Amino acid sequence: MKIILASGSPRRRELLAQAGYAFTVEVSDADEDITAQSPDRLVEDLSYRKAMAVVMAHGIEAGSGIQDPFPDKDLDTEIIAPEDEDLLFIGADTVVVLSDEILGKPEDEADAARMLTELSGRTHQVYTGVCLIHTRGRHLLERRAFSECTDVIMRKLSAKEIHDYIASGEPMDKAGAYGIQGKAAVFISGIRGDYYNVVGLPVCHLAEEINRITSEY
């Protein structure tokens, strides 16, 4: 089975490779502008959009017996793929949530400063959603989506720490304006849950789902 990661995130690429999977990367051009909703459904829906954008670039039509987490989505498309080739598309999305406010990537440095100031000295949640789409030849066999939540405890930050961190440029492409695997590691005093989920991919849960799909098909 050929795995296709529908994400341009270098962190997700590193985690998937670290887990021992061989895969190719096809960056999704999915529209990520959706109405705010519960964070778990939000990241699952966005991960679905990312994966489906790449699936549709290959051109896949719906098959029978699909376990579909989003039955309202239209899948009637044409396809260009070898008749017997199995493909597994993986889409993912991550958001930070603080007191019911969903924090995506900062719009600018001022927005990053606002997010870090709000997160300082508090516990927040990181949600990552993953959607797996399994296709064979001209048919979509299965879609499955899930999300993980991790509690993250950030110590109190000084104004200088926030300023210096933003000046490094690291926060600007990250949900919640920080990367736990980077310079912001010194800001995090504890977590409850999957560390890799905070980085951007819940590897343990993902591996379980991949094993299930490969064993069933």
- The answer to whether 174 and 95 are in contact (CB under 8 A) is no
Conformational region of residue 7, where left means phi above 0, alpha means psi within -120 to 50, and beta covers everything else: beta
Residue found by looking up tokens 């933003």 in the block:
166
**End-to-end C-alpha distance for the chain, whole angstroms:** 10
For every residue of 52-93, DSSP letters joined together read HHHHHHH--EE-SS---S-TTS-------S-TT-EEEEEEEE
Angle at 121 between CA 159 and CA 94, to 5 degrees: 95
- The reply to whether 93 belongs to the active site is yes
And the tokens for 176?
């919640």
Q: Which of 84, 93, 108, 111 is catalytic?
A: 93
Q: How far, in Å, CA of 68 to CA of 178, rounded? A: 33
Report the catalytic residues: 93
